[in-house]
Every structure is written in structure tokens, then in C-alpha cells.
Amino acid sequence: MKKLQRTSHLGILLLLSLFLNVVLALAPLSADSEQEGTQRYQYILQTLLHYMDAYFVEEVATDKLMEGAVRGLLAAGQDPYTRFLNADEMKQFMGMEGGSRIGIGVELVLEAGEPLILAPMPGGPAMRAGIRPRDIIEAVDGTETRGLDIGRLSQLVTGERGTPVRLRIRREGFDESLEIEVIRGEFQMDYVRTHWFAKEQLGYIQLTHFFGEESGSVRDFEKALQSFSNRRARGLILDLRDNTGGHLDMAAHLAGLFVKKGAAIVEARGRFQEWNRTLYATEENAGRYQNLPMVVLINNSSASASEIMAGALQDHARARLLGEQSFGKASVQRIFRDLPGNAGALITIQKYYTPKGRQIHGKGLKPDILVPSWQASRAESFYHYQMNKAGVFAAFKKQHPNYQSGLPAVFQADMQKRGWPISAEFALRLMKQHYHESSGELDPQTDTQLQRALAELSR
């Protein structure tokens, strides 16, 4: 058995050595000393693999050792967005592009070596369990997360549908960590949501991700615009809050609908001059809505492709950005799908800049109109956590299946009896959230940023 294992080890090492030699062949300007250094590390890798196989206190599968080496290779670039995708992770990634996922429904980024939840996906298991944007996951089912890459984190939170996963969360404003159980499940992502404000004669489009072209997201976006135009809309509210990004070309295409034909949308700069490129509004329907008044909603979880679109519209004075400063993730990852065993890799190849040359990465976009999102008090945030932990909302909705105007007062009184004295406003917001948010209904009454956007376009 040991002989067979070592034969397998040799094959994997030869594959990795071949990969390293190909890298050298693609870099003819490398000095001889660099080639010697690479050969030295090839030898070190082979030797360490032998040491682990022969001497480590516990037996470790060869695949696990080699996957760790590959992840370390990509991590050496110190870019949290460059990462290896094993077969399972690749399947998850492709599922997200297609619109369906099984898991807990969060977008993760690494910040100072810790997994930060950029945004829970609307209607997903994490949102239903009370996970919030900018929560930090300290542990998953007892496994500490500091230092783990996104791929490993995805493995930890993904599992069979209907199974629980326990997260230890650090949340701003709380002295102690929170323990939150999330039930894994399958959920469908609706990339485009629309609404018509008849009284104000204003259209509204929420774009949750820049994905789903094959399933019709671009078509749905353009169809909504045409519908608003037929109704002689006075303006458009484009909601990019909690939109964590997606496909660069899709963002450029949609931005091109609102600017003059031929206008620059985004400049992408790579390591080499030939990798630099600028995307322009050149498609047939570019500029079709260049005179439509617009407000774009952004927040701390608006990132990547959503920042490209918002930045272009801001630079061309086509829209006012309203809300909070965006996240500041402005790099382009290329997906390499051709690795053996159905594996792949995401590798950052470019960073992008607005048409006026503004750097977004690490800085974000500042809104033209600053409107902070509503925040519960520290005490009410803790009560909300306790309510989720106790399963209050599921039980309350079972007793009261349909929302009625008097429910917030009933809920407030019930919580008062249980020792959670919440304000009438917070009770209203909780009821609106749990009865309306999952259905995608808009409620300007509890959305101060949307209220302000309606007011700005109604002037």
C-alpha cells in the first residue's frame, strides 16, 4: 500500500514540476538564478512531501498535502481574491453564476486575515438567521477561521441541504461573540427586481449581482427600462446596495445604456501594457437612456462591478450616488477552468479605474448625497439577536401568517412581556423585514435612503 501511495506522490510531484517548468518557459526574461531558485524549491517540495509521508505523527492524504501546496502558491501573491478552486468549489462558483446555490447564502471577503460577510443574499438562509453585513465569522462549527482562505471557508459552510452550521460571529457594538445557527438550504437568486412608483412616476431597479446573462438578467433589466420609458418615467432609481459584483462586461454594457455612445466606462490596467484596456459604450443600444434622470443607491457592501457602473455614471454626471461609501474592491479576476480534476483558479489580472482615472480599489466611491442607513440601538441589536436565537419570528408568523397594520404593536407588546423592550419603530422595521423582505416588496416607510432618492427625483 505504501508503495502505491509513493507512486501516486511521484505522479503528482511530476505534474507540479511540469507546471513550474511551464511557468519558467512563459517567462523568458527571468534570470538564470531565478530558474535555479525554482529548481531548488521543487527539490524542497519533493523532500518535504517525503518527510510528511514518512514522519508526520498522523497519516495525511496526498491530495490534501498537494492542495495545500497549491493554495500556498496562490496565497503568496497576498491577494485575497486570487485563489484555487477544487472541484467542489468550482461547482459552487459555477452555480452562483447560474443563479442557484446550496449553502448559507453569504458573500465573503478576507479583511486582515478574517472572513468578513460583505452581504447576506436576499432571502437566503443567512439572512433569515439574522446574519448582517460586516459580521466577521470567527469560527464555523468550532473550527477557527483566521488565516483560512475563501476556498476553505466555503467548504466549511457548505453542506447537505437542511443541515445546521453553527457560526461564531463578531459584530460591531457587541462585547461578546454571538453564536448563530444557520440551516443550509437551496435558494434562487433573483438578479433583477423592479418596481413602479405610480404616484411619483419613477422607476426602480434593484440589481443584486452582475450575473445571470444566460438566464436573462440583462434582458430583464432592459425590459424594465423600456417599460418605464413607455410610462414616461420622470426618473430612475438604480439600487446597487449589497451588490457585491460579478461580470465586468455586463457592468460595462448596462452602464453604457445611460451615457453617450462612445463614452469610456472603465479602464482596466494589468501588469503588462498589452493587458491594459478601456471599455467604451459602443453597443447598438448604447446611450438609449442618456437623458433619463437617475439616482444610484450604494452602501458599504457595494463592490467590484457595481462600483464600476456607479463610478462611470458619477464621472459622466449621469447620476447622483446616494447612500454610503462603497466597499472599494476594484480588481478583475480571470477564471481558469482547465485544471485537472475539474478544478480551477481565480487569479487577479487587472485593477480598474473610473473614466476620470479615479482609483476605486481600497478606497471606494463617495456618495454625492450621504444618507446613512438606519441603525438599531445597541440594546435593540442584542434583543434582535436573542429573538433570532429563540426562534421568535417563525413562531410569530405561524400565529399571524399575514401582515396587518396592527401587527407591529402586537409584536412590541409580546416582546415587552418576554423582557425585550423594543421601540415602536424597531418593531415596525422587524415586522416589515420578516413579512416583506423575503417577497422582494419595497417599503420606503422603513428605508430612509429610498425615501431620499424618491424625494431627490421628485423635485
Distance of CA 398 to the CA centre of its chain: 32
Lowest mean pLDDT among 9-13, 48-52, 94-98: 9-13
Where residue 158 falls among pLDDT bands split at 50, 70, 90?
confident
* Entry pTM: 0.80
Residue-level pLDDT at 416: 95
Among the listed ranges 57-61, 127-131, 353-357, which one has the minimum average pLDDT value?
127-131
Lowest mean pLDDT among 175-184, 280-289, 406-415, 436-445: 436-445
CATH superfamily, region 100-188? PDZ domain (2.30.42.10)
Name the range with the highest mean pLDDT among 45-59, 221-235, 388-402. 221-235
pLDDT of amino acid 328 = 95
pLDDT at res. 241: 97
Q: What percent of the chain has pLDDT over 90?
A: 61
Query: Mean pLDDT in the chain?
Result: 88
What's the rounded mean pLDDT across residues 435-455?
A: 81
pLDDT digits (tens, 9 = 90+) for 294-307: 999 999 999 999 99
Q: What is the pLDDT of residues 399-408, one digit of tens each?
A: 999 988 899 9
Where are the chain's structural domains? Answer: 2-75, 100-188, 192-332+347-370, 378-457
> What pLDDT, on the 0 to 100 scale, is given for residue 12?
47
In angstroms and rounded to an integer, the radius of gyration of the C-alpha atoms of the chain is 25
Lowest mean pLDDT among 103-117, 135-149, 185-199, 432-446: 432-446
Q: Which range, 4-13, 145-154, 307-316, is most confident?
A: 307-316
- Predicted pLDDT at 444: 86
CA nearest 83: which of 326, 343, 327, 275?
Answer: 343
CATH fold, domain 192-332+347-370, is: 2-enoyl-CoA Hydratase; Chain A, domain 1 (3.90.226)
Q: Can you give the pLDDT at residue 228?
A: 98
Q: Can you tell me the mean pLDDT for 279-304?
A: 96
pLDDT of 23: 46
The pLDDT of residue 238 is above 70: yes
